[in-house]
Amino acid sequence: MSTMTLYVEKNSILHNTAPLTKVLYVMVSIAITYLIPEIAFVLSVAIITLLLLILGKVFRKIVPILGLSIILILSIIIVQGFFHPQNQTILFSIGFVTFYKEGLSYAALLTLRVMNMIMSFGILILTTKHDELVEAMIKKGLSPKIGYVLLSVLQLIPQMRTTMAKITDAQRSRGMETEGSLLVRMKAFFPLIGPVVLNSINITRERAIALEVRGFSSNQKRSFLNISKEYRYQTAIQVILWLTLAAAIVWRILTWLS
Amino acid sequence: MAIIKVENVKYKYPDTDKLVLNDMTFDVEQGEFIGLIGKNTAGKSTLCFALAGLVPHFFKGAYGGKVLVNGLEVRQHEIGEISPHVGLVFENPFSQMTGSKYTVYEEIAFGLENMGIDREIIVNRIEESLELLDITEIKDKNPFDLSGGQMQRVAIASVIALKPSILILDEPTSQLDPQGTEEVFKVIENLTKEGITIIMAEHKIDKMAGYTDRILLIHEGKLIDFDTPAKLFSREDLQDYGIIAPAVTRISQSLGIQNKENGLYPVTLKELSREMGDKR
């Protein structure tokens, strides 16, 4: 059964950290890189995140994801290197293209922020079972309905893809062209998407009924089959994270005042 | 006391003019296995929904009359309050899987979690229903990896785990092969032994004749007859309602084999061979 989860089953310190602590880390590490816009600082945050990924034994999994973001990063470098409003100091020129120092250092800052963001989300997603995460969030007060949506999409989208493949086969067996030039593919789009959408609407209605008769919209406080795992030192880590955030905010206010 | 009381129920879906349920009245006793037959669009599914509270709460529309299940008037209570009393299983096993659970075991827990039942009780209930439905060996599989028959049994198990006193099944075997059908019927027979009242809409007449206590025949939203299989299938006018009597009954009719005591035609092979044995 295919599900769309990126979770990597390993045993590491990160895998043994409470999901909500990791969520907090994601938020704090992103927030402080915006609060303190110093390249050296942002770089060190990114390096800490990177080290954590290595500690979580999931570094190899993040590489392709970072690779995907290369296009974004390249465009940041080019655009900022050329057009940053404070461009003054010429760094180097390739033919008629001139790169400025101010623009490039701003681009470096943005790039590091983006990479840090991707990597810290990577920590969360690659080392946390998402059902455990969602259950932890429901226990903290997230609506069980939203929790259900978050959990079920990951299984239902692959199901929908299977349906799509089935319908494509059915239409093809009735002589419809689905492969070939762009025009052929565009013509094939509607006869394919129509049944898929109608079928999903139907199934969704039925599933809604099935959920309803199993008490989905009852206002009872939920109970949980899975016992939440016990994690140690979580409060300490969370306090440190909150303090870091507070320190960053204080630093920001102080630099404003001076 | 009757566990289900239906009094003059009338219903039509929103934006339609036709009464899908037209003045229905009947009672069901506790522990009975009731078959619900009628041709397509006769109102079987709607009746099932009405007993589970989905009509009128989920589908809205115009509603009149009274449905009492286990002493609760359906109209006055929300589906969440009715669902612990009435379980509903329907045709497509695939769409009854929640999709938010990764094992059969957790899937069955879904309804129990929603109702906020204690963890120890949840575990007990799951074990019980796994056993009752004979699916213990697949409890760690992903629900979507199962065959249709297995999936349907998981769907029944997850409803049974809520311990409803009434179980409603709307064509639960229509997407299953003969073996899957047999599995489901066997399981339901087991459930009747537990004292659960069962109402089952189904097209497989021969199976119904063998298993049910009474059969409810509906046609165009009206209740035509509600009687034992033998009496109901001995009716002359079944064809008018789009129903074909079980093969056994038709053979007996052509051969003129009747039960000597009450003059009804046999509905199962067993009865037929008994009658024939008498002749020899």
ipTM for the complex shown: 0.84
Main-chain dihedrals φ then ψ at residue A210, nearest 5 degrees = -60, -40
pTM of the model: 0.82
pLDDT in tens, A41-89: 999 999 999 999 999 888 888 888 888 888 888 888 888 877 777 777 7
**First vs last C-alpha separation in chain B:** 44
Domain ranges in chain B? 2-229
Q: Do B98 and A211 touch (CB under 8 A)?
A: yes
- A-chain residue closest to B105, CA distance: A225
Question: Which tokens hold the place of B219?
Answer: 């046609």
Residues in A closer than 8 angstroms to B110, CB to CB, are 214
Q: Look at residue A98 and tell me whether its pLDDT is greater than 70.
A: yes
Residues in B closer than 8 angstroms to A218, CB to CB, are 80-81, 83, 114-116
Instruction: Give the three-class secondary structure for B240.
Output: helix
Q: Do A215 and B58 touch (CB under 8 A)?
A: no
- d(CA B73, CA B86) in angstroms, rounded, equals 12
Q: Do A1 and B86 touch (CB under 8 A)?
A: no
Q: Look at residue B280 and tell me whether its pLDDT is greater than 70.
A: no
A222 contacts chain B (CB < 8 A): yes
Region label for B268, one of left (φ > 0), alpha (ψ between -120 and 50) or beta (otherwise): beta
Selecting from 1.20.120.80, 1.10.579.10, 3.40.50.300, 3.20.190.10, what CATH number does the domain B2-229 have? 3.40.50.300
Beta strands in chain B (DSSP E): 2-12, 21-29, 33-37, 62-69, 72-73, 86-89, 166-170, 197-201, 214-219, 222-227
Taking the CA of residue B15 and the nearest CA in chain A, the distance in Å comes to 18
Closest among B234, B215, B213, B212 to B223, alpha carbons compared: B215
The residues that bridge with B68 in the sheet, in sequence order, are B5, B73
Using CB atoms, pick whichever of A1, A156, A222 lies closest to residue B114.
Answer: A222
Using CB atoms, pick whichever of A159, A220, A225 lies closest to residue B115.
Answer: A220
Q: Do A218 and B83 touch (CB under 8 A)?
A: yes
Residues in B closer than 8 angstroms to A217, CB to CB, are 78-80
pLDDT in tens, B103-155: 999 999 999 999 889 999 999 999 999 988 889 999 999 999 998 888 988 99
- What's the residue count for chain B? 280
Banded pLDDT at B258 (limits 50, 70, 90): confident
> For the ranges A180-189, A247-256, B30-39, which has the lowest average pLDDT?
A180-189
Q: Look at residue A2 and tell me whether its pLDDT is greater than 80.
A: no
